Structure 1
Amino acid sequence: MHGPVVVTWLLAVFTAAAGAHCFSRLRGAACARPRAGGRALPHRESDAAEALMGIGMAAMAAAGSAVPATFWAWLFGLPALGLLLAALTPTRPAVRAHRLHHALGALAMTYMALAMAGSPAHAHHGAATGMPVVTGTLLLYFGGYTLWAGSRLLSTTGGAVLSGTSGLPQACRLTMGIGMFAMLLTL
């Protein structure tokens, strides 16, 4: 990430915390919690994707150009491909949309890694990298997602937020949406 140092480190800390929480949920027994309507989404898959994205976003924000861009592209490109293929399997629309969201996040991280790789070392001091249409589209998506996730978090009851039953996972998703938006802004 090529923004102010304070913003970079705040982004790294918050996304790492969100990723660590998702990883702890992955290890916990709460992976089969029911969703609205009595149906359960594949929470283990979701928690794994969110843990990868949170920890990966933190590492990419903090280490960025110190790690080869091809590493970041493979790290996020392979899960994106897997999630896209999983979204093609016959399943409920909510599960398909969830998988597509995670795939889009992984593809956005791959896109940012490849855009950074294609720019000269001095390009991050004012010149934009990447394709403006793709960056703008991703900014619109993640900006809208962040607003949606924030509104869902605000609609939860105070007790649910404090106990962590539904508010904390939504707060993690909101944090990662804001982080993705911030990383795309600095591209």
Structure 2
Amino acid sequence: MHGPATVGWLLVALCALTGAYCVLRAKGTDGARREDAGGEALMGFGMAAMAVPSVWTWQPLPPAVTAAAFAALFTALLARELGLLLLRWRRDGRRGARPCVHLHHVTGALAMAYMSLAMAAAFAGTGGAAGPAAHGTGTGGIPVLTGALLVYFAGYALWNGAQLIPSPAGAPATAGAGAGVAFGPACAVIHQPGVTAGCRLAMSTAMFTMLLTL
């Protein structure tokens, strides 16, 4: 991505760790929750790969080609998430389909595909070279769409951050709090709602940062 290399490597570490956590979460559950965790793991690893600074200066592969490859990857992920969303809607309707969670996955895949396409267009406009015209100043994209995505992911990060605030004593447990208990203490910790909310907070913050560098 555009911007300082230090920020890029921090994003790599953050997204890779959240992706690994989602893999562990997927192993301890099944059904719709497993699909959700798998989609988030793919998104995390894809974002980590895209944030690696050296990917955009690797000489054998022009940056425009790299950006186009990421666009294809995230477009495929977007198609997967849309397919799962439609499948769940047809299967469950509004009952237990967790449409808000899956719509967020669709939005995330759309945002990453959009950023990849914007970068591919920027690199193509500079002759495919990763020079000052393409780095540091950003690619711009479509300002209105970029702004809308920034507002969305900022709001989603704040909402997940609010889930980490301790509940008053005696408050009912969050739905799904006991998920994974049957798989052992470590798995029970992985499936705690607060840990999942923290993972989504990290992913949303990383997405917000990547959009800022656009």
TM-score (norm 2): 0.74
How many residues are aligned here?
A: 174
1:86 matched residue in structure 2: 84
2:71 matched residue in structure 1: 73
Contact 1:83 1:103 (8 Å CA) reproduced: yes
Structure 1 vs Structure 2 CA RMSD: 2.2
- Following TM superposition, by how much is the alpha carbon of 1:99 offset from its aligned partner in structure 2, in angstroms? 1.3
Pair 1:156–1:183, CA change in 2 (3 A)? farther
Q: How does 1:75-154 map to 2 (within 5 A)?
A: 75-88=73-86, 89-90=89-90, 91-92=93-94, 95-119=98-122, 120=126, 121=130, 122-154=133-165
Hey, which bits of structure 1, 4+ residues long, moved more than 4 A?
Answer: none
Residues 11-69 of structure 1 show CA distances to partners (whole Å, capped at 9, x for unaligned) of 1101100001101222x22x14xxxxxxxx71111111110111111110015534612
Larger Rg: 2
CA distance in 2: counterparts of 1:74 and 1:156, whole angstroms: 42
More helix by share: 1
CA distance in 2: counterparts of 1:10 and 1:42, whole angstroms: 31
1:185 matched residue in structure 2: 212
CA distance in 1: counterparts of 2:112 and 2:118, whole angstroms: 10
CA distance in 1: counterparts of 2:2 and 2:22, whole angstroms: 26
Q: Where in structure 2 are there 5+ consecutive unaligned residues?
A: 169-176, 178-187
Moved more, 130-139 or 68-77: 68-77
CA distance in 2: counterparts of 1:108 and 1:118, whole angstroms: 15
Name the SS of the counterpart of 1:154 in structure 2.
coil
Pair 1:45–1:123, CA change in 2 (3 A)? same
Pair 1:156–1:92, CA change in 2 (3 A)? farther
Q: Where in structure 1 are there 5+ consecutive unaligned residues?
A: 33-40
- Following TM superposition, by how much is the alpha carbon of 1:123 offset from its aligned partner in structure 2, in angstroms? 2.2
Pair 1:127–1:6, CA change in 2 (3 A)? closer
2:172 matched residue in structure 1: none
CA distance in 1: counterparts of 2:138 and 2:22, whole angstroms: 35
1:57 matched residue in structure 2: 47
Aligned partner letter, 1:145: Y
